[in-house]
Structure 1
Amino acid sequence: MNKVILIVLDGLNARTAHTNMGFLEHLIENKQCAAYTVKAELPAQSRPLYEVIQTGVPTYLNGIVSNGTVKRSKEASVFQLAKAAGLKTGAASYHWVSELYNKAPFDPLTDRIQLDTEHAIQNGLFYFEDHYPDNHLMADGAYLIREKQTDYTLIHSMNIDDIGHKFGSQSKEYVQAAVTIDAILSNYLMDWLEKGYQVVVTADHGMNEYCTHNGVTDDERKVPLYLFSEQVAAGDYRETVVPQLQMAPLLCHLLGIGKSAAMQELTFI
């Protein structure tokens, strides 16, 4: 079974993840996953990097240049490729993902719940407040996986990013947001793995001490990557820094589908 669950923890830098997320670190220690460090593309903003993760195309080519770029993607996304291959797609995600791959602009009156559609994301539960609780979000994602039997599922959290913008990456509040989602993940992850799902946990970008992200510092660009798959040898490879442009071909590889011509060749596993 080549089903993949992609969990994107918006705004989580690698330093905070590997220092404070004890459940995921426990799985690294016990060789239950492969851990890498990803270097995010620039600019280190959310909407451009959602596009990078899903399409493998850098910003200067894909045209999603800032968080204010509200339009549909023109690139072939993992969602589109998976659907074309006969797989079922889903996302429990911030509404910007809907704007990139389903409908733009997003209308909360009509677009929050999109089930059994012909869009690239066939089944979507989209939220539009940055503080939408992570425990609600994970339940949304679990619903799509369980009831809609999605083969490629994005679960995208905004809580860490929201707290980081309010308090900065050096704050106790930022650390606690990471600790909270680590605990929530523990209630779902082992069950998904036992059922044969491959799970990828990463972030779009990090956060700095000044409550922002856009630049070139390690806290803004270096993010974690935890891979749970029999196709990837378990181990601690965090000294290996993976370009974020490798994420899209990685997802295609795990799904067993062809990558787009614009994506890089997969080189790090």
Structure 2
Amino acid sequence: MSETASKLVVVVLDGLRYDSARKFLGYMEHLVEQGEVTCYQVQSQLPSLSRPLYEVLLTGTPVARNGITANHIARLSHEQSVFHIAREAGLRTAAAAYHWVSELYNTAPFNPITDRHQHDASKPIQHGIFYFEDHYPDSHLFIDAEYLRTAFDPHFLYIHSMNIDDMGHKHGGESKQYEGSVRAIDGMLATLVPLWRSQGYHVIGYI
């Protein structure tokens, strides 16, 4: 393992619409305007459901191949994920994420008593803090992620937020509550992205 290997933070903002991102993620839009980051609009694969798309995103395989066809399919992935590839390359992995990510790559079914905190170098996600309620505060999530980053120095850190999606389901994508959840995330990213970049991390955001 090379200690000089590049490090990457991936932030997934579940349920965030492209138009809302461009309108309400003010700090990130500023970085786009300054030419420091690039924004791409991509087309999601179908079905546009959470668990299937986690698998698509993290393995690069279509639903027809990977078999994670719906949200209720709660089993370990049969595919090679980014976590697997990084671990096999001798790199450190970590995730602060919804418990479905643990069920896909570490252990299924998820037991909140035993599986919320996971630290096992033999697992694809070697260090993980997993939440199991959609309203788990994003402010807490990013603190979880920072703990993992500073304590274990991962080469690949995956952060998965659910508050925007939760507000969309409860109040609609045009609601003030939805907008507020996006603006709150923007404030967190405005604090953390400069820190991550100053410490040599590349940052990718998915919405």
TM-score under structure 2 normalisation?
0.96
Given candidates 82, 85, 107, the residue that maps to 2:89 is 85
Moved over 2 A (4+): none
Matched residue, 2:165: 161
Given candidates 53, 57, 61, the residue that maps to 1:49 is 53
User: What does 1:74-223 correspond to in 2, within 5 Å?
Assistant: 74-203=78-207
User: What does 1:10-21 correspond to in 2, within 5 Å?
Assistant: 10-21=14-25
**Bigger Cα displacement from structure 2, 25-34 vs 91-100:** 25-34
- Secondary structure of the residue aligned to 1:35 is coil
Which AA in structure 1 matches 2:151?
A: E
Matched residue, 1:34: 38
Matched residue, 2:72: 68
Q: CA RMSD in A?
A: 0.8
The whole-number CA distance in structure 2 between the counterparts of 1:7 and 1:38 is: 16
- Secondary structure of the residue aligned to 2:39 is strand
Q: Which runs of 5+ in 2 are unaligned?
A: none
Q: Which runs of 5+ in 1 are unaligned?
A: 204-269
The whole-number CA distance in structure 2 between the counterparts of 1:172 and 1:179 is: 10
Q: How many residues matched?
A: 203
Residue by residue, what CA displacement relative to the aligned partner does 1:6-50 show, whole Å, maximum 9, x if unpaired? 000000010100011111111111111011112111111110000
The whole-number CA distance in structure 1 between the counterparts of 2:143 and 2:84 is: 24
The whole-number CA distance in structure 2 between the counterparts of 1:128 and 1:137 is: 12
The whole-number CA distance in structure 2 between the counterparts of 1:73 and 1:158 is: 21
- Secondary structure of the residue aligned to 1:110 is helix
Residue by residue, what CA displacement relative to the aligned partner does 1:216-245 show, whole Å, maximum 9, x if unpaired? xxxxxxxxxxxxxxxxxxxxxxxxxxxxxx
The whole-number CA distance in structure 2 between the counterparts of 1:191 and 1:71 is: 36
The whole-number CA distance in structure 1 between the counterparts of 2:205 and 2:42 is: 11
Structure with greater helix share of residues? 2
The whole-number CA distance in structure 1 between the counterparts of 2:183 and 2:123 is: 34
The whole-number CA distance in structure 1 between the counterparts of 2:122 and 2:203 is: 25
- Secondary structure of the residue aligned to 2:41 is strand
User: What does 1:188-267 correspond to in 2, within 5 Å?
Assistant: 188-203=192-207
Q: Percent identity?
A: 49
Q: Give the drift of 1:116.
A: 3.5
TM-score under structure 1 normalisation?
0.74
Residue by residue, what CA displacement relative to the aligned partner does 1:68-113 show, whole Å, maximum 9, x if unpaired? 0100000010000000000000000000000000000000110000
